[in-house]
Amino acid sequence: MTLSRLPVILDGDPGLDDAIAWLLALASPELDVLGITAVHGNVDLGKTLWNTGVVLALARQSVPYYAGADRPLVRGELTAANVHGQTGLPAQFLPEAEQAPEEQHAVNFIGRTVRSRPGEVTIIATGPLTTLALAFRIAPDLPDLVKEVVWMGGSTGQGNRTPAAEFNALADPHAARIVFGSGVKLRMVGLNVTMGCIATPERVKALQNLGNAAGQVSAEMLTAYADVYRERYGLSGGALHDPLAVAAAIQPDLLNWQDMRVDVETQEGLNFGRTVCDLYGSTQHANARVAVGVNDAAFFNLLLQRLATLP
């Protein structure tokens, strides 16, 4: 029986957990990666675009990739180099990018690809939603043509960059608000579940023991990541935020989902960038399926098994 592959576009800001997420996507036979779009975020666009080429070289795969938005829609640029390092990929033995980015802008690529396959393409977004918001503003009919957006961002509870806001939401809350208000079918994988998926020392060792470049680089990056999580959150390692969003597209039943209304606070102040989640159904119109639980062990087993198949 022929496996039916889900056509996807990967959109993100690598960043070490984006890189591991994309390795998972590229290693998964369930997904047909049509293209990758880089956006500002963890580091600036020049670095996230370069890092996209590095991830493809590491996976030894050729997938077209595109430059997206280089800044937020309204707010000033926000980065996370203090967590991801100045380059975004804190590892020593990374390959050089072998493939150049495409000349077409990511917004045009997304529009063209979704229109060519209406109702089929899932967009897995693991960074600020700026590029996607621009695509939806330029073509307001586009959200109805997307199969689904799966976004790692937001939270039903506490933030991480501020007490109220998760980084991807805070990096461009105006864009997130556009996407949540667009009518697109949307699933949100937020901190409330990703902070339960920790790259413990034992898990980092398991990645290292895969004996391949993908496992070695992933282990090295997660080791660099761990200190921040130990100092800030008292955890034994870094959270596997973005890989969980990819896993949600591959095996949705790894997570528990709840339909709810999600709005994004765009007024500057203590709650700027907060995803306001209607956990108890106070409003009538849900606009997202929000992850509220995760089978952490099954998720990590999936990640380990898939990365083992890469060079």
Which residues are designated catalytic? Answer: 13
Q: Which stretches within the chain are classed as H helix?
A: 16-26, 45-59, 81-84, 106-116, 130-138, 167-171, 173-180, 191-194, 201-208, 213-233, 241-250, 296-307
Torsion of CA 105, 107, 108, 109, to 10 degrees: 80
Q: Which residues pair with 8 in a beta bridge?
A: 33, 122
Nearest-angstrom CA–CA distance, 120 and 10: 14
Which residues fall within 8 angstroms of residue 276, CB to CB, at 6 or more apart? 262, 263, 264, 265
Phi, psi (rounded to 5 degrees) for 15: 70, 130
CB atoms within 10 A of CB 150: 23
Phi, psi (rounded to 5 degrees) for 81: -65, -25
Q: Which residues pair with 130 in a beta bridge?
A: none
Distances in Å between the alpha carbon of 42 and those of 7, 73, 208, 248? 26, 16, 24, 22
Nearest-angstrom CA–CA distance, 213 and 207: 10
Of 286, 281, 263, 277, nearest in space to 179 by CA:
263
Q: Which residues pair with 6 in a beta bridge?
A: 31
